[in-house]
């Protein structure tokens, strides 16, 4: 299993039955493939609907997710304008958002929308989601393509939001922010603590209950 699917599988375990969830573009869209049995969620999209589902058959014109990718809908789907969509987000009605990240730091700050001098997708609804959702999980590969750290002492890129991240999932580890402290709670199979330390610039503590990451649904995909 590749890194992105492993991360998606682990994050899927954080979703609870009945949750309203907003998934960012890219890696987070893989998460519904790994939902535990009996867990049903409602997906919300910033571009104006509640009830995203898998694409079945030919795509319908203009039925796309917030990333512009054709998608489907489930029975009971509701469509609305952007004002209502962002009222749902800003009003605290999204239980969980899962976003990709360019950088996260040990203070819970997230940078995921801009690299100076480069073309990237942009902010979208990320700033509203990070500040409005009840929980924020960053799902990203542990290091850059050149091997540089992405979990830092302090973000160097422009921030999306400050001190709002509640957990970080990578292909190497799972971290939670516990009482404001970046805490390692799980280590992926075949990975050592020394490897995680070597690839993480941020200072973190190891939970006394730290365990091997459990991935019960991954082998099914």
25 and 47 in contact (C-beta within 8 Å)?
A: no
Distance CA 92, CA 79 (A): 19
d(CA 23, CA 46): 10
Q: Confirm whether 46 is a catalytic residue.
A: yes
| Annotated catalytic residue within 46, 103, 171, 186 | 46
The token pair at 64 is 């796309």
Q: Specify the DSSP element, H or E, that contains 178.
A: strand 173-178
CA angle 199, 158, 24 (to 5 degrees): 75
Report how far residue 193's alpha carbon sits from residue 163's, in angstroms, rounded to the nearest whole number.
Answer: 25
CA dist 140 and 78 (Å) reads 30
Cross-strand pairs, 40: none
The catalytic residue positions are: 46
């Amino acid at each position: 299993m590749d890194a992105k699917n492993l991360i998606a599988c682990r994050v899927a375990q954080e979703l609870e039955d009945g949750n309203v969830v907003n998934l960012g573009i890219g890696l987070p869209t893989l998460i519904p493939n790994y939902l535990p049995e009996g867990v049903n969620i409602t997906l919300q999209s910033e571009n104006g609907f509640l009830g995203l589902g898998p694409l079945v058959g030919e795509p319908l014109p203009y039925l796309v997710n917030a990333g512009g990718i054709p998608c489907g809908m489930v029975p009971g789907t509701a469509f609305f304008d952007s004002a209502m969509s962002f009222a749902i987000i800003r009003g605290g009605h999204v239980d969980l958002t899962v976003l990709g990240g360019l950088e996260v730091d040990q203070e819970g700050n997230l940078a995921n929308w801009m690299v100076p001098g480069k073309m990237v997708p942009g902010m979208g609804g990320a700033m509203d989601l990070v500040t409005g959702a009840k929980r924020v999980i960053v799902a990203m590969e542990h290091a850059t393509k050149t091997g540089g750290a992405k979990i830092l002492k302090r973000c160097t890129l422009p921030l999306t939001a400050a001190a709002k991240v509640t957990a970080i999932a990578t292909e190497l580890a799972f971290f939670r922010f516990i009482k404001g402290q970046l805490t390692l709670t799980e280590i992926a199979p075949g990975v050592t603590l020394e490897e995680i330390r070597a690839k993480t610039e941020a200072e973190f503590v190891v939970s006394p209950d730290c365990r091997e990451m459990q991935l019960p649904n991954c082998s099914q995909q």
